[in-house]
Amino acid sequence: MTVITEPEARAYEPVVGVEIHVQLKTRTKMFCGCALSFGDEPNTHTCPVCLGHPGTLPVTNAEAVHFALMIAMAFDCEIAPRSIFHRKNYFYPDLPKGYQISQYDIPLARNGRLGDVRIHRVHMEEDAAKLIHTGSSGRIHGAETSVVDFNRGGTPLVEIVTEPDLRSPHEAAEFGRLLQATLRRMGVSDVNMEEGSLRVDANVSIRPAGTATLGTKAELKNMNSFRFLERGIAAEIARQERIVHEGGEVEQETLHYDPQSGSLTSLRSKEEAHDYRYFPEPDLVPVAPTEEMLKRARDALPELPAARAERLERDLELPAETARVLAFRSELGDFFESAVAASGNGEVRTLANWTMNELAARIGDSDPAGTALEPAALAELVAMVESKQVSASAAKEVLDVLVAEGGDPAAVVEAKGLGRAESGELEEVVDRAIADNPDAVEKIRAGKAQAIGAIVGAVMRETKGRADGGEVQRMISERLGV
Amino acid sequence: MSDELLNLTAGQQAAKIEAGELSAGEVFEFWRGRAAADDLGAYLWVADEVPEDPGSLPPIAVKDLFCVRGVPSQAGSRILEGYRPPYTATSVEKLQNAGVRVLGKTNQDEFAMGSSNENSGFGPVQNPWDRTRVPGGSSGGSAAAVAAGTAPWAIGTDTGGSIRQPASLSGIVGLKPTYGAVSRYGMIAFASSLDQCGPLTRDVTDAAILLSHLQGRDPCDSTSIGIPGGVSLPTAERLDGLRFGVWGMREPGLEPGVAEQVNATLAKIEELGGGVEEIELPNAKYGIPAYYVIAPAEASANLARYDGVRYGPRTGNGDLTALYEQTRHDGFGEEVRRRIMIGTYALSSGYYEAYYGTAQKVRTKIAQDLSAAFEQVDFVVSPTSATVAFKLGERTQDPLAMYLSDYYTVPMPLAGIPAISIPCGLSEGLPVGFQIAGPAFSEARILDAAHALEKSIGFEGVPVSVDRRDADRRSQDEGPEAPLG
């Protein structure tokens, strides 16, 4: 048996494509009038249509088509003049009709791009219901009983399939984040991975580096965070490298990645793959977008995160990473841009940093527009810091108040007595601090410059943070003649 | 009152109700009594009382597969035994809104799969002309009820001939509208691209009255369009200048007695001023094979929902597969199981193009044949069925012979066009049907032509005033199983 050495094994490159299911945030389901819901009492948002009662017929939700068209346009896809629905047939208790209505050989849109990744297709379909299994396994086999909640059944989904353009687990996760930010910005989905409104599958294969062939792929199902997506793909690449390394061949199969154990388990092999017996859905007419529908979708498209990041970087001269964070968290970006507009000619970089760091730290993932803080107040506060009317640490205290209660920064500074210490007052405090810290003074004179921190600290304590650290340091050095 | 009502068409009864000569409640009660006394196996359920508001038109017998809220709607299948839908079919609702109340639910071939009503999960239906014979199918109960005078009128569904063929074999009028003329919402589906609701009536005018209420676009059925211009009552008495293209008269299976009556009808067309010429539908002979691929394929998906999970009986213990297999094995009859197998096979990977793909191409060819014919003639006419009503049990062991019962009726649903069957005479004492087909949405013209011919033919129909209990009892021993409900 030949032993293949490490360097040779490393000469493989991963090839990854993703399939993303997005639950659309329409008011009603894909093919009936039931309201969408999450976490409601089971089976309270159902009707004869979404329960698959005999004789019922689906009717396509026009708003779902509108959202799907927006998505297709956001990716610059070619939109099919007439796309059709198919029936995808298989038996499962979460599929009340015994088939899923989906698009097959003529999807809504094809050949688009998001960032550096080509989009293969965008199509519409309906979500399955939710199965809940009791017993230890948590899966249908071996469960004591299984119950079905049909609330989710029939939720509109858009499936987005990329070309295999991703070359690393990190790239896949980054693409996922861009996609998530883009869809969120468009307002077409909650894109919440934990709640399942954004679900990512990855097709993973490896090939000798530098070749253009595609290896046999394995499909990783349903990873519910980008971190797990990244880890899952990494684990699968490692598994495939190991197989090839040992002289074996990768088999086509569908795998489940368990983020807890880091293990991959096979759900089904190629032989067990379903024959879905697709055929055109005779109950529905083709989706043929009219000029009005296309215009409405086009007009509804906001500036998307990638374009916004580029603009913030170019026009406001923000560092790339700052621009990206503000563009990807669009509510933060909106707040920032409102603050910029209110600030006149303020220092936008500082404002960006305050938005991205201080404000974000105080509000978590929520929308800053939902707090008491006004964009103009943030701009004013940052301007006060810039002009040294207030120290950075005092300003943080002011921000706490503004986020919780709102109001005018100057008034808060005034009320809390956080205004910058006057230089006469500060001189006294500095002198006292030098007198109180003879050890530190001695060390500084002996050349240990960092000992100055103790004296600065004492001054800051005394002034309750109202003094500017740099100014204090300068005054101490001057007095000690170092 | 009984003789009087039995001798009136539904439209005539309606006129008397409107004129105040009859009360709608009395009319309902009369028909309710008739339906409850049915001994042909035509009914699976009969209303047990006169509704609070008895409406303004005579009540209607509704094929079992129409969903009616709270009323057993089982599509003739044991797999839906006891199923009472939470909603009402649009077609039935439209009739209700027009003042027509539901008299009862009629027997049918299970999921409309059959041409003799012998595939019902609740027993066969006897032909009121001869109780040893079938009434045709799949709307056999609706046809038998109207023919036997246990319903003033009825609705059924036609997928490959399921309205026209039983109308023909039972000596009544049956109309299959253009695909999309009537909403399919609430019709338990057999083959979605073919199924269409239509009337089974004593005369052409009754068919027009029902169609005028049934047709219309329905927001719950995206494939529904309605009939542009609506439907008015037929008045024509002449056929001057109209051209009738006759086909299928040389088929070896065509009974001479049937051919004789059809030829006599063609002669009447000429007497009324119409022209008759022979036409070719070169691909019509492929209609049956194409139909028996497309319809089962769609049915295999349409019937997947009967899995025992949400409604209907459930059998099978243990795991999920056993639940599915046992429930579906126990619930579906043999013919339904056969068609699910055929349809599943035809859609399978590797066979799809050869079967389903080819069948769709044939479908297009047949539609093209018919469009070409309509450039030449106004109507395409033929026998509705090659034979008169056949004996119960005669074709049950030979599915292919049974499938050929639809030879003359299958091309129209494949092309989506309307066609009517009207009784045109008797052969060996049994009714013969004459079929008139026209281009899409030509219902008004078809009804007019049928109306003129009907007057000229003067078909008498089964002597419905005879009390059925004293009628021919030849088949007593082969009587149907007790209908449910």
CB contact under 8 A, B184 and A57: yes
CB contact under 8 A, B349 and A58: no
Give CA–CA dist B425/B265, Å, rounded.
9
Total count of residues recorded for chain A? 482
Which residues in chain A have Cβ-Cβ distances shorter than 8 Å to B413? none
| Exposure on the CB side of residue B90, measured as CA atoms within 13 A | 23
- Residue A156 to residues A67, A193, B87: CA-CA distances in angstroms? 10, 16, 24
What count of CB pairs under 8 Å joins A to B? 103
What residue of B is the nearest CA neighbor of A93?
Answer: B309
- pLDDT of res. A480: 84
Instruction: Report phi then psi at A271, rounded to 5.
Output: -65, -30
Whether A242 contacts A234, CB under 8 Å? no
Task: For B328-365, write each residue's pLDDT tens digit.
Answer: 999 999 999 999 999 999 999 999 999 999 999 999 99
Sequence-distant (6+) residues with CB within 8 A of A61 are A26, A28, A29, A30, A31, A156
Q: Which helix (H) or strand (E) holds A352?
A: helix A348-353
Whether B218 contacts B185, CB under 8 Å? yes
Burial class (CB in 10 A: 0-12, 13-18, 19+), A479: middle
Strands of the sheet with B196-201, listed across from one edge: B43-46, B102-106, B60-63, B154-158, B196-201, B173-176, B419-427, B430-437, B379-383, B243-246, B275-278
Q: What architecture (CATH level 2) is domain A423-480?
A: Orthogonal Bundle (1.10)
- pLDDT of res. B469: 40
Residue B175 has pLDDT above 70, yes or no: yes
Kindly report the nearest CA distance between residue A277 and chain B, in angstroms.
5
CB contact under 8 A, B189 and A93: no
State the average pLDDT for chain B.
Answer: 94
Residue whose token pair is 């009804």 = B447
Whether A45 contacts A53, CB under 8 Å? no
CB contact under 8 A, A54 and B86: no
Pairing, β A218-223 against β A253-258: parallel
Nearest-by-Cβ selection for A57 from B221, B297, B349: B221
What residue of A is the nearest CA neighbor of B324?
Answer: A91
pLDDT band at B474 (very low <50, low <70, confident <90, very high): very low
Nearest-by-Cβ selection for A279 from B67, B324, B347: B347
CB contact under 8 A, A284 and B310: no
Give CA–CA dist B68/B80, Å, rounded.
14
Nearest-by-Cβ selection for B304 from A99, A282, A285: A99
Which domains can be identified in chain B, with CATH numbers?
A: 2-279+379-478 (3.90.1300.10), 286-360 (no CATH)
Burial class (CB in 10 A: 0-12, 13-18, 19+), A248: exposed
- pLDDT of res. A137: 58
Flag residues of chain A having pLDDT under 70.
1-10, 135-143, 345-346, 420-423
Nearest-by-Cβ selection for A99 from B184, B301, B311: B301
Tokens, residue A455: 């004296």
CB contact under 8 A, A54 and B352: no
Residue B70 has pLDDT above 60, yes or no: yes
What residue of A is the nearest CA neighbor of B344?
Answer: A277
Helix or strand or coil: residue B103? strand
Q: Which helix (H) or strand (E) holds A132?
A: strand A130-133
Nearest-by-Cβ selection for B305 from A98, A148, A277: A98
CB contact under 8 A, B87 and A140: no
Q: Which helix (H) or strand (E) holds B13?
A: helix B10-18
Q: What is the pTM of this model?
A: 0.88
Establish if A7 touches chain B: CB-CB under 8 angstroms: no
Q: Domain spans of chain A?
A: 6-297, 303-416, 423-480
Tokens, residue A254: 């569908």
Which residues in chain B have Cβ-Cβ distances shorter than 8 Å to A60? 222
- pLDDT of res. B465: 39
- pLDDT of res. A3: 47
Amino acid at B465: S
CB contact under 8 A, A52 and B66: no
What residue of B is the nearest CA neighbor of A90?
Answer: B304
Amino acid at B316: G
| Exposure on the CB side of residue B327, measured as CA atoms within 13 A | 24
- pLDDT of res. B194: 98
CB contact under 8 A, B219 and A277: no
Tokens, residue B172: 């009544």
Give CA–CA dist A196/A38, Å, rounded.
10
Nearest residue to A80 (alpha-carbon basis) of A279, A288, A297, A290: A288
- pLDDT of res. B261: 98
Establish if A142 touches chain B: CB-CB under 8 angstroms: no
Nearest-by-Cβ selection for A52 from B83, B223, B310: B310
Whether B407 contacts B287, CB under 8 Å? yes
Nearest residue to B198 (alpha-carbon basis) of B161, B171, B229: B161
Give CA–CA dist B127/B36, Å, rounded.
17
Give CA–CA dist B109/B171, Å, rounded.
19
Residue whose token pair is 């209908």 = B483
- pLDDT of res. A445: 85
- DSSP E strands: which ranges in B50-153? 60-63, 102-106
Pairing, β B419-427 against β A130-133: unpaired
Angle of helix A438-445 relative to helix A452-462, nearest 10 degrees, comes to: 140
pLDDT band at B60 (very low <50, low <70, confident <90, very high): very high
Top-confidence residue, B411 or A370: B411
Tokens, residue A189: 């989905």
- pLDDT of res. A449: 82
What residue of A is the nearest CA neighbor of B309?
Answer: A93
CB contact under 8 A, B300 and A89: yes
Give CA–CA dist A128/A96, Å, rounded.
8
Which residues in chain A have Cβ-Cβ distances shorter than 8 Å to B348? 275, 277
Helix or strand or coil: residue A262? coil
Kindly report the nearest CA distance between residue B352 and chain A, in angstroms.
8
Whether A123 contacts A106, CB under 8 Å? no
- Residue A146 to residues A137, A275, B319: CA-CA distances in angstroms? 11, 25, 11
CB contact under 8 A, B349 and A275: yes
Whether B381 contacts B435, CB under 8 Å? yes
- Residue A220 to residues A18, A195, A236, B4: CA-CA distances in angstroms? 9, 19, 8, 75
Establish if A96 touches chain B: CB-CB under 8 angstroms: yes
Tokens, residue A398: 């002011």
Mean pLDDT of B128-146: 96
Which residues in chain A have Cβ-Cβ distances shorter than 8 Å to B69? none
DSSP B420: E
- Residue A331 to residues A184, A327, A335, A356, B74: CA-CA distances in angstroms? 10, 9, 6, 11, 54
Which residues in chain B have Cβ-Cβ distances shorter than 8 Å to A93? 307, 309, 320
A459-468, B154-163, B361-370: range with lowest mean pLDDT: A459-468
Q: What angle do CA B459, B464, B466 make, to 5 degrees?
A: 130
Residues of A (260-279) whose Cβ lies below 8 Å from B: 275, 277-279
Nearest-by-Cβ selection for A140 from B65, B83, B320: B320
Tokens, residue A39: 């976490």
ipTM above 0.90, yes or no: yes
Kindly report the nearest CA distance between residue B309 and chain A, in angstroms.
7
Sequence-distant (6+) residues with CB within 8 A of B2 are B30, B465
Share of chain B above pLDDT 90, in %: 90
Task: For B210-262, write each residue's pLDDT tens digit.
Answer: 999 999 999 999 999 999 999 999 999 999 999 999 999 999 899 999 999 99
Task: For B380-399, write each residue's pLDDT tens digit.
Answer: 999 999 999 999 999 998 88
CB contact under 8 A, A279 and B184: no
Instruction: Report phi then psi at A312, rounded to 5.
Output: -60, -40
Whether B266 contacts B276, CB under 8 Å? yes
Pairing, β B154-158 against β A218-223: unpaired
Helix or strand or coil: residue A245? helix
HEC letters along B264-285: HHHHHHHHCCCEEEECCCCCHH
What residue of B is the nearest CA neighbor of A273?
Answer: B349
Sequence-distant (6+) residues with CB within 8 A of A322 are A312, A349, A352, A353, A356
Catalytic residues of B: 63, 138, 162
Amino acid at A281: E
